[in-house]
């Protein structure tokens, strides 16, 4: 009887800790590799309002890409960051990767580098630089994000998508938005 009660108390405490820890989670990580050379080849983030951190290490002029879905009334929230470490933080605007956001109607927006604002990410213990941010009314459908290297140097890039800190679903390249 005592052991059963102790087990129930322990299970209750673990569930309580897990439930209270959930709201504090960071952006859900997604790592792009060589197989994700374009947005058509890359993963699909099923809900672009969920907070994702899509990262890629671009070697020279490599390309990476992914897609995300929005519903009518959602906001398109995208951030372009690099690690605040040498040599990444010393690259000029012309040497940094180009990030292109394409909406469901095919309108392309180059994320212009307008800032170098420091951001310390406590979960991973790294400091990043915001280079560009987009926060605008979205439209229903599939958004494409393509990242194109423009430097001889390797660059660690992070593209933040969404703001809701909940678990999200990542699908393969053949998946489509609803």
Supply the mean pLDDT for the chain: 85
Summarize pLDDT for 5-29 with one digit per residue, the tens. Answer: 333 323 332 333 233 333 334 589 9
Determine the pLDDT at residue 1: 42
Is there a contact between 67 and 44 (Cβ–Cβ < 8 Å)? yes
Determine the pLDDT at residue 26: 57
CATH classification at residue 34: 2.60.120.380
Count how many domains the chain has. Answer: 1
Range of the domain at 151: 26-171
The pTM is what? 0.83
- For residue 33 the two structure tokens come to 């590799």
> Is 21 within the bounds of a domain?
no
> Is 16 within the bounds of a domain?
no
**8-state DSSP, 88:** G
Summarize pLDDT for 115-138 with one digit per residue, the tens. Answer: 999 999 888 899 999 999 999 999
> Is 2 within the bounds of a domain?
no
Determine the pLDDT at residue 152: 86
């Amino acid at each position: 009887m005592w052991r059963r009660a102790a087990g129930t108390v322990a299970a209750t405490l673990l569930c309580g800790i897990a439930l209270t820890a959930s709201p504090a989670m960071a952006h859900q990580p997604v790592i792009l590799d060589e197989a994700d050379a374009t947005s058509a080849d890359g993963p699909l983030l099923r809900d672009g309002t969920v907070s994702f951190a899509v990262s890629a290490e671009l070697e020279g002029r490599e390309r990476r890409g992914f897609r995300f879905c929005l519903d009518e009334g959602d906001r398109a929230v995208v951030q372009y960051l690099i690690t605040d470490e040498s040599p990444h933080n010393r690259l000029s605007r012309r040497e940094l990767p180009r990030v292109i956001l394409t909406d469901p109607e095919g309108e392309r927006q180059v994320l212009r580098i307008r800032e170098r604002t420091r951001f310390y990410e406590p979960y991973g213990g790294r400091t990043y630089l915001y280079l560009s941010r987009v926060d605008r009314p979205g439209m229903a459908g599939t958004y494409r994000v393509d990242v194109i290297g423009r430097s001889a140097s390797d660059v660690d890039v992070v593209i933040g998508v969404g703001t809701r800190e909940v678990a999200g679903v990542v699908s393969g390249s053949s998946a489509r938005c609803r």
